[in-house]
Amino acid sequence: AQTVTQSQPEMSVQEAETVTLSCTYDTSESDYYLFWYKQPPSRQMILVIRQEAYKQQNATENRFSVNFQKAAKSFSLKISDSQLGDAAMYFCAYRSAASKLTFGTGTRLQVTL
């Protein structure tokens, strides 16, 4: 079974600085998607960014980018120019044709002034 591991329960970043959230996963499949979801206090999960395993180019969405290392099974999220509104729980997730969307345990990001 696929597993997703987030080893940082909490992270803190100053406003306007850059922070990187880590995620590793375990799979024997070659074709899959990886996702980062954000969960603010409202509880609603919001998709931040996604990466297809077959694409070598790292995905980027405005201030959010990923560092996808397929061989190492690593998928980190970089948030640049952090804003107060970025404070939330961030979940890394994995999905493939054979598996449901599987989440890590999350990283709580605090943004300080």
Partner 1 sequence: GAGVSQSPSNKVTEKGKDVELRCDPISGHTALYWYRQSLGQGLEFLIYFQGNSAPDKSGLPSDRFSAERTGGSVSTLTIQRTQQEDSAVYLCASSTTSGSYGNTIYFGEGSWLTVV
What does the binding site for partner 1 look like in residue numbers (CB under 8 A)? 32-33, 37, 42-47, 50, 52, 91, 95-97, 100-106
Q: Which is nearer to partner 1, 17 or 52 (CB)?
A: 52
Report in angstroms how near the CB of residue 4 gets to partner 1 at its nearest. 8
Smallest distance, partner 1 to C-beta of residue 113, A: 25
User: Residue 43 or residue 113: which is nearer to partner 1 going by CB?
Assistant: 43
Strands, E, within the chain: which ranges? 3-5, 10-14, 19-21, 24-26, 33-39, 46-52, 60-61, 64-69, 74-79, 88-96, 99-103, 107-112
* CA atoms of 74 and 31, how far apart (whole Å): 15
Q: Which residues on neighbouring strands pair with residue 108, listed in sequence order?
A: 10, 89
Residue with smaller CB distance to partner 1, 65 or 89: 89
Nearer to partner 1, 18 or 99 (CB): 99
Token pair of 80 as six digits: 């640049």
SS3 85: helix
In angstroms, give the least distance from the CB of 74 to partner 1.
18
The CB-of-67 to partner 1 minimum distance in angstroms stands at 19
Tokens representing 79? 């948030």
